[in-house]
Amino acid sequence: MELRQLRYFVTVVEEGGFTRAAARLHLAQPGLSAQIRQLEKELGQPLLDRSNRSVTPTEVGRAVLPYARAALAAADAVRQTVDEHTGLLRGRVTLGLVSGATGHAFDIASFLADFHDTHPALEIALTEDTSERMQAALLAGEIDIALLGPTEEQPPPGLSYRTVIDAPLGAAVAPGDPLLTPTDRTDVPLAELRHRSLICLPRGTGVRATLERACAQAGFRPRVTLEAAAPHVLAQLAAQALGVAVLPLGEEEQGPGGPLRTLRIVEPRMRARIVLAWRATGPPGPAARALLDRLREVLPETPSARVASPGRPGRPG
């Protein structure tokens, strides 16, 4: 009996057939079938029922399956232990990133390239989504770490946050916009945006949640007429006088019609945060822990207090 035969057996059960299992294992189907039959011959009992359209484990196969999985997990743990002692990391780690999360302050491509140079055997996957969906993916174990804009002040149970960017929200407008009267003003009350067409990040992002929460408290619903996933696109739309862009101060750019003017939104003042988020119990393996440690090094915590999941350990395990 060989470990690869057990892996083949488990894969066939998980995929429900030889064709999909062979594709997942990058094997020819006849070779996969031959290896399973060799395992069954050695054990003296059929492990798979091939009589139906979908291949299912026999009674013996169902009894063997947990032991096969345990054997594979033990073998993986042996390899992982050896790799840890030799300083070699293997496996896969997934980093979630909200579009425009770091602006110009963090070069994610260079960071990942440097991390890959240090850990060449480690596979890194990068995915973009809204903050709301990434929080759910973190809790479900679908991603390991995320840079996101939280939709609430406190993390949901099961997650820990480390604030890395904390900026006030502003209203960016093209030259000549009525909000710029008087010309020396630097702030704009939120109430003045009640009847304006707003340009904002989509629902599920921290900035949008902050805006909608503040408007609800002020007694009106924001008129968001244009949405974009990245702050610099919001600025470009505002530069064309298509509306008032609500975005973190510092994200505004020069527009084709001249420099944008950004007024700090007050009454109330609102802030946009980007946090480094992970499961409160810590990343599940050494690869994810190494990536989190490196991110914590290159993304210093803001002066505001670190926010951790209530009743949970804040430090990654």
Per-residue pLDDT band at 251 (split at 50, 70, 90): low
H or E element, residue 123: strand 122-128
Averaged pLDDT of the chain: 84
Name the more confident of 104 and 182.
Answer: 182
Query: Which residues lie across from 279 on neighbouring strands?
Result: 159
Per-residue pLDDT band at 46 (split at 50, 70, 90): very high
Calculate mean pLDDT across residues 147-167: 86
What are the tens digits of pLDDT across the range 273-283?
889 999 988 77
- The answer on pLDDT for 224 being more than 70 is yes
- The answer on pLDDT for 254 being more than 80 is no
CA distances from 259 to 51, 126, 235, 238, 256 (A): 71, 33, 10, 11, 8
Domains defined for the chain, CATH in brackets: 3-86 (1.10.10.10), 89-317 (3.40.190.290)
Calculate mean pLDDT across residues 235-247: 93
Calculate mean pLDDT across residues 175-188: 91
* Residue 288 near residue 145, CB atoms below 8 Å: yes
pTM comes to: 0.62
* Residue 101 near residue 274, CB atoms below 8 Å: yes
Residue type, 5: Q
- The answer on pLDDT for 129 being more than 90 is no
Distance CA 227, CA 59 (A): 55
Determine which of 157-161, 292-296, 306-310, 312-316 has the lowest per-residue pLDDT on average.
312-316
